[in-house]
């Protein structure tokens, strides 16, 4: 079951056939913005269920090769040898998100149905490899999102 909770929304929804009607009576400016946001959430939910979301991430390094291990049934990521450090960075992926190697060198895929969980998991992996106490213009090492696609494309 894939659902989303919207708080403080003064809207009424009704599904008729192949469409979902979202109505607001006597809307103010923020209510109209809320309707558009709810429509975007519903479209993202349909896209996630029908196609899925895939983020490809590449590791970039200058000297020390970054090793990425995927453990615990594709739900946890370990980053080894970042800037030559012995510290192992562990990232727990959010619910409904899996991580797989692509087959290419230094590249992984983060996949799932919820665009927010997939993007937040990719952001957690990227943030685990931020450079501290050095000039970030010079030290560009890290794991970065290289491509955002769908798991399977719809056929018209």
In this prediction, residue 34 has a pLDDT band, given cuts at 50, 70 and 90, of confident
Rounded Cα gap, residues 140 and 57, in angstroms: 15
pLDDT top residue among 99 and 18: 99
Upper half-sphere CA count for residue 140 (Cβ side, 13 Å): 6
**Is-contact 147 56, C-beta < 8 A?**
yes
**φ and ψ of 149, to 5 deg:** -140, -175
pLDDT at res. 82: 95
Mean pLDDT of 54-62: 96
Q: Is the pLDDT of residue 6 over 80?
A: no
Query: In the prediction, which pLDDT does 126 show?
Result: 97
pLDDT at 156: 67
Residues 124-131 have a mean pLDDT of: 96
pLDDT confidence of 71, banded at 50, 70, 90? Answer: very high
**Which residues are 77's β-sheet partners?**
70, 91
**50 pLDDT more than 90:** yes
pTM: 0.88
């Amino acid at each position: 079951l894939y659902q989303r909770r919207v708080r403080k929304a003064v809207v009424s929804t009704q599904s008729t056939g192949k469409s979902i009607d979202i109505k607001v009576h006597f809307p103010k400016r923020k209510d109209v913005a809320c309707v558009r946001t709810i429509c975007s959430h519903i479209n993202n939910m349909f896209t996630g269920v029908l196609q899925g979301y895939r983020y490809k991430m590449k590791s970039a390094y200058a000297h020390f090769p970054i090793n990425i291990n995927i453990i615990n049934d594709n739900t946890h990521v370990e980053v080894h040898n970042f800037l030559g450090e012995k510290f192992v960075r562990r990232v727990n992926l959010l619910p409904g998100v899996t991580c797989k190697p692509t087959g290419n060198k230094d590249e992984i895929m983060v996949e799932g149905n919820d665009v927010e969980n997939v993007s937040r998991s990719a952001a957690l992996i990227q943030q685990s490899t931020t450079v501290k106490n050095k000039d970030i213009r010079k030290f560009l090492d890290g794991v970065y999102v290289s491509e955002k696609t769908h798991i399977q494309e719809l056929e018209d």
